[in-house]
Amino acid sequence: MDYFHLSAEQDTMEHISALGLAHLGDGVYELMVRAWLCLHGRATNAGLHKAAVKYVAAPAQAKLVHAILPLLTEEELDVYRRGRNSRTAAVPKAASVGEYHAATALESLFGWLYLRGETERLNQLFDVMMEEAAHAF
């Protein structure tokens, strides 16, 4: 199986919980942020981790996700809402409950798009978020 070019079937996707999608989406989003930082020369080797955390922390994700919400299809919004409404065990100290749920929703969406093989859509949404980041951070 090629784990970089997936195209999961709909019935497979239905059996994955929102938190399962968020777990995968967290990794997808962080990998995209790390690649973006390297390609844009935004940090030195010593500062890459600190720079990545600035973008992947729940408060940052919650702020940036608002840039893509108007662009989401109904199906994508359903996945987003499913992730936002999922019950989480704990919320990090650095984030509010609302921020954490918004971040989980974003990660669910990114995990869902990744499993469906929709890398072009992932890139499109990520680019909009990074445009927003240029103004927000």
Residues with catalytic roles? 26
Instruction: Enumerate residues 6+ apart whose C-beta is below 8 A from 135.
Output: none
Instruction: Quote the CA–CA distance of 128 and 123 in Å, as a whole number.
Output: 9
Instruction: Quote the CA–CA distance of 57 and 2 in Å, as a whole number.
Output: 29
Whether 84 contacts 112, CB under 8 Å: no
Indicate the DSSP class of residue 73. Answer: -
